[in-house]
Amino acid sequence: MTNFPTTDEIARNVREALDRIGVSAEATTGPVAVHTPITGGQIAGTFANTAEDVDAAIGRADAAFRGWREVPAPVRGALVKRWGELLVEYKQDLAVIVTAEAGKIPSEAAGEVQEMIDIVDLAVGQSRQLYGKTMPSERPGHRLAETWHPLGVVGIITAFNFPVAVYAWNTALALIAGDTVVWKPAEAVRLSAIATDALLARAVEEVGAPADLHQLVLADRHAAAAIVEDDRVRLVSATGSVRMGREIAPTIAARFGRALLELGGNNAAIVAPSADLDLALRGIVFAAAGTAGQRCTTLRRLIVHTSVADELVERIAKAYGTLAIGAPTSEGTLVGPLINRASFDAQQQALRDAVEQGGTVVCGGERVLEDAAADAFYVQPAVVRMPAQSQVMHEETFAPILYVVTYDELADAIALNNEVPQGLSSAIFTQDQAEAERFLSASGSDCGISNVNIGTSGAEIGGAFGGEKETGGGRESGSDSWKIYMRQATNTINYSGELPLAQGVEFI
């Protein structure tokens, strides 16, 4: 059985990490309890911002924007670079806090902080490459060009499962774009947010940047409503459920603000008859069971060719039986806890629904380690064989459940991949180049991320991250994602001394 730390031990480790980062004890001794999913116990307390506090924070960020937008982009990059250096220095401390609050095993927590460091590296380079185009004009003595300018205040709403990385994805690019930020983190991971914000504050002070360009608000959804509603917030980048997206998107659109939405996943992988099953097995198990199934890119649906389905399912079930489940702080643990009871209840309901809809539970699904951690929720990852058409597979459950269906023709497998309302990540395991190309083609996967011979999770910083349909259409991280944080202007420069009109129009 895994060795469980006590709640006091976790709290002490977190407090020591916060001390090293420079967060005062006063900031973590407020009236709002912070619990760890490792034991379910309280490890700290924080303050709670009011609606008035949030309004004031937006005001400060808006005022800071007026000066920050005038700072040359490479100079703005110097701030982001210093932030990255501090993230490197305090990587392990921040990872300790992420493990305590989100329940991630240490390698995943450290990997999340590494994502922050990676996006900072990308953003620093991008600060010297905010390129526009020059286009030929139809009029003699004229030049057409596009320029990119800072947008304004960016509101960032993040989820519990990636408590710091997604904030960094947005903030690193927003800052080099000349924007300021207001951050509302998930209520379950407030200590991670406080620590991350403290490191940015230190970087701001050391490089002499405006102190108010970043604002952290620890508020519930009602108090933080102004982030969605206020005209001063030009872009809202929100990560969460489809339900949340449906609620906030109309409000943002009504005031003609911009929305960058990263919502539900419900990701699938196809396993073709030519697949390397050893490779597929490793990719499937990590994507489906890693982070206790609490990634937006978690593999939730497996679409397997009939000829290899029985063998592969048997191998997955055997691999699941070897997964070390327990306190993420214990050496060798691979699967940590669910974030809370609500996640456990949702998993149990989904399994009941699956069975009612004709599914057969191959393995897993039960709560484990209840005697060792009565107030925490650890589960055995589940594998469920399902009929091809089942409503439960259309709904994303944020827990480790892998639904398995079979197919005979690749076109049918692609149709199964695409039939759900979400469209984030997808994958195919095949050694057939033609199958891979069909999956990646315009008539293949309809997801924002389409992989070949790799699982659905584990995206790299260099590529744009995001999905289609109910996933929201947003793009973060690499490629040209920086453009969402800026406004584009088309410029016409007349150096001819004449005034010809476009399209041959004549006017006195």
Q: Write the DSSP symbol of residue 5.
A: P
CA–CA separation, 411 and 387 (whole Å):
17
> Which tokens go with 444?
């293949």
CA–CA separation, 305 and 295 (whole Å):
26
Phi-psi region of 138 (alpha: psi -120 to 50; beta: other; left: phi over 0): alpha
Phi-psi region of 207 (alpha: psi -120 to 50; beta: other; left: phi over 0): alpha
**Which of 101, 108, 112, 262 does the annotation list as catalytic?**
262
What kind and span of H or E run contains 166?
Answer: helix 165-177
> Which tokens go with 343?
């996640």
Active site residue 262: yes
CA–CA separation, 198 and 200 (whole Å):
5
Q: Is residue 404 within 8 Å of residue 313, measured between CB atoms?
A: yes
> Which tokens go with 257?
């603000």
Between 190-207 and 165-177, two packed helices, what is the crossing angle to 10 degrees? 30
Which phi and psi (to 5°) does residue 423 adopt?
-155, 55
Torsion of CA 132, 136, 141, 145, to 10 degrees: -10
CA–CA separation, 330 and 315 (whole Å):
26
Give the active site residues.
262
